[in-house]
A and B are shown apart, each in its own frame.
Chain A
Amino acid sequence: MFSEITRQQFRRFRSIRRAWISFWILVGAYVLSLFSEHLANDRPLVMRYNGGTYFPTVKFYSAETFGGRYRTEADYLALEQSPEFLAKGGWMLFPIIKSDPLRNYLKEEGSPPHAPSARHWLGTDDSARDVAARLLYGFRLSMSFALTLAILGAVVGVIVGGLQGYAGGWFDLAGQRIIEIWSALPFLYVVILIGSIYGQTFGVLLFVFLLFEWIGLSYYMRGEFYRLKNQTFTQAAQALGAGKFRILYRHILPNAMVPVITLFPFMLIGGISSLTALDFLGFGLPPPTPSWGEMLQQGLKYLYAPWLAFSSVLALFTTLLLASFVGEGARAAFDPRSSNAIR
């Protein structure tokens, strides 16, 4: 599957410990965050009641199930305390973070934002929502958004840049000018316009970001394809009677993948930070979506509640730093031109 050179590059990447460790921390954190419902939730993971076993994080149970009056979802936090529940052998195991990111915990003492406590480890925000739970869900959201964006952006960038570099001539020239005009469009206005017409949903935002995401990579791919199509081995393949398509996908494309790998972590960083920036300005995902930008904004608004700013800034900083380490390592491992001094 992978060639010797690629394997060598992977080995080199692995030998750059900082990048390798950062890579696995990020991957691990993201995989964990995919199970956020079982890590931060105010529904118990497992509960026993009246001889039966229930899994409320996976399945919906109405209040009637546990002796309540209504068919709406059971209020597990209240149930945990009720004497009837305990009398019927009730028992609950909650996730690590015993809060839902969207729920307002107004029963706490004092007024929100609440300071960190044993109940809410990182405190609550101005609507009394648990900061730790929101950070976790926000991480999943940011990473999913940035990953999808980077993957789609890379695909578009490779296709556009590759075609330009391979075709050359007037197609390349026209393409370059169009891209220059395109990249001069004011991104923020486009987001505000399209967002206000079609609503600020995950999909719409992804689409608008994607309109601009591919441009950076397309420059690199154009250069790579331009260089590779004049390499002797592509000419040798041509002399062997290989068709255009075959030369493109077998001889040029695999040899042009280095910029994609080295740029990918930085595209990821770009995706996370621009979504956060947009949320911070209020043009991103609408409330009450747990997003880091919105949390940063609250941090700025309630400077007397430093846990808000501190936790969100630290989370953002750590994520971007780890991704930068990965990117730096990938560049050192895959780019033959850069030195291998980073260890």
Chain B
Amino acid sequence: MPSAEPAPAAPPLLQVNGLTIRFGEHTAVDGISFRLGKGETLAVVGESGSGKSVSALALTRLLPPPPACRLGGEILLGDRDILKLDEPALHRIRGKEIAYIFQEPSSSLNPLFTIGAQIAEAIRLHRPDVKNPVAEILRVLDLVGIRDPEKRHRDYPHQLSGGMQQRVMIAMALVCQPKILVADEPTTALDVTIQAQIIDLLRDLKQKLGMSVLMITHNFGIVHGFADRVIVMFRGKIVEEGPTEVILRQPQHPYTKALISCIPRLGQRQERLVTIDYSTLVP
């Protein structure tokens, strides 16, 4: 496995060693290793079924319990191996140290509660010391760029647009001040202008709060200018890894090349969309 940069001196925030995920007979992820430093942004790129989303869920063991799904390897968060922790310890890590935002904002919010109540739930779970939850809710809603939070926090999810809902999801993730934010295709369900807004927001927040971000995407277009490093996954394995600029300029693996060539470019006349020829990739 090629590694483009020297190992950092400080121990990384998150270190994944030989992570394997099996669903019954099928191996979804086959011994991947990567690390995430403090304040770093790592993008995991790959197509559907490449194992990127289950890898992200495995970070806090959000997968079905053993008979259905078996995990191997180790996931080190600081000096704790997440695969060896018990349920209560996992509950304390989820949301508090590793927070998630998902692909589909409209179904990620409980339709029966106001967005304020749902952010309050996150506060109640992980920050019981907060004396004035409403002030905290208003603060995070303002942080993620929701105008008029005093009025908006009483809204129900269906009263918000998709982009607003995703901002609320980000607010829910941020209110517990996590060390790592896992964004699992956060813009896939949104239209292109909103995508750009959400990516800008994430970039902005990452710098403001100094947290690490693990961005899962199939779209190389949003990796540029956002991620420090990129991992390319194909069929459950990491096929290429390196700094974003290097990967985008000089991709080594044929799959990476193929993925990059799939990005439609402005001003380029193209008769047909580029597709990936799998016959050359699969041994």
Residues of chain A touching chain B, judged by Cβ–Cβ distance below 8 Å, are 3-6, 231-233, 235-243, 250-251, 254-255
Residues 91-128 of B at the A interface (beta carbon under 8 Å): 91-96, 99-100, 102, 104, 107-114, 121-122, 125-126
Task: Show the binding face of B for A, using Cβ within 8 Å.
Answer: 60, 62, 87, 90-96, 99-100, 102, 104, 107-114, 121-122, 125-126, 156, 158-159, 169, 172
- Contacts of A233 on B, CB cut-off 8 Å? 107-111
Asked whether B111 lies within 8 Å of A5 as measured between CB atoms, the reply is yes
Select from chain A the residue with minimum beta-carbon distance to B172.
Answer: A240
Chain B neighbourhood of A3, CB < 8 A: 111-114, 156
User: How far is B114's CA from A5's CA once the two chains are assembled, in angstroms?
Assistant: 11
Q: B112, A240: Cβ atoms under 8 Å?
A: no
Specify which chain B residues have a CB less than 8 angstroms from the CB of A250 in the assembled complex: 110, 121
Complex CA gap A241/B172 in Å reads 12
22 A-B Cβ contacts within 8 A? A3-B113, A4-B156, A5-B158, A6-B112, A233-B107, A233-B109, A236-B100, A236-B102, A236-B109, A238-B62, A238-B94, A239-B62, A239-B99, A240-B95, A240-B121, A240-B122, A240-B172, A241-B91, A241-B92, A242-B95, A255-B111, A255-B112
The 5 closest A-B pairs by CB, nearest first: A241-B94, A241-B95, A240-B95, A239-B100, A232-B107
Cα A238 to Cα B87 in complex, Å, equals 11
Residue numbers in B under 8 Å from A5 (CB-CB) = 111-112, 156, 158
Query: A251 near B110 (CB under 8 angstroms)?
Result: yes
How far does the Cβ of A228 sit from chain B's closest Cβ, in whole Å? 10
Contact A237–B102 (Cβ < 8 Å): no
* Least CB separation from A243: chain B residue: B91
Kindly state the separation between the CA atoms of A6 and B87 in the bound complex, as whole angstroms.
34
B188: min CB distance to chain A, Å: 13
B156 touches A255 (CB 8 A): no
B106: nearest residue on chain A (CB-CB)? A232
Chain A residues within an 8 Å CB radius of B169: 236
Closest B residue to A234 using CB positions: B110
Cβ of B168 to closest chain A Cβ, rounded Å: 11
Q: Is the CB of A235 within 8 A of B102?
A: yes
- Contact indicator A232/B112 (Cβ below 8 Å): no
Contact B125 A242 (CB under 8 A): yes
Known: A232-B104, A241-B90. 17 other contacts (CB 8 A): A3-B114, A5-B156, A5-B158, A233-B107, A233-B111, A236-B102, A236-B109, A236-B169, A237-B110, A237-B121, A239-B100, A240-B94, A240-B95, A241-B126, A242-B121, A251-B110, A255-B111
Q: Which residue of B lies closest to A239 (CB)?
A: B100
- Residue from the set B99, B108, B122 with the largest chain A CB neighbour count within 10 Å: B108
Interfacial chain A residues near B107, Cβ < 8 Å: 231-233
Cβ of B42 to closest chain A Cβ, rounded Å: 18
CA distance A116 to B117 in the complex (A): 62
A5 to B90, CA, bound (A): 33
Alpha-carbon distance A243/B95, docked complex (angstroms): 12
Question: CA–CA, A231 to B106, complex, Å?
Answer: 11
Q: Closest residue of chain A to B105, judged by CB?
A: A232
Residues of A within 8 A of B109 (CB): 233, 236
In the bound complex, CA of A235 to CA of B95 (Å): 12
User: What A residues does B94 contact at CB under 8 A?
Assistant: 238-241
A3-B113, A232-B102 known; A240+B108 contact, CB < 8 A: no
Chain A: minimal CB distance from B123 (Å): 11
Complex: how many Å from CA A243 to CA B126? 12
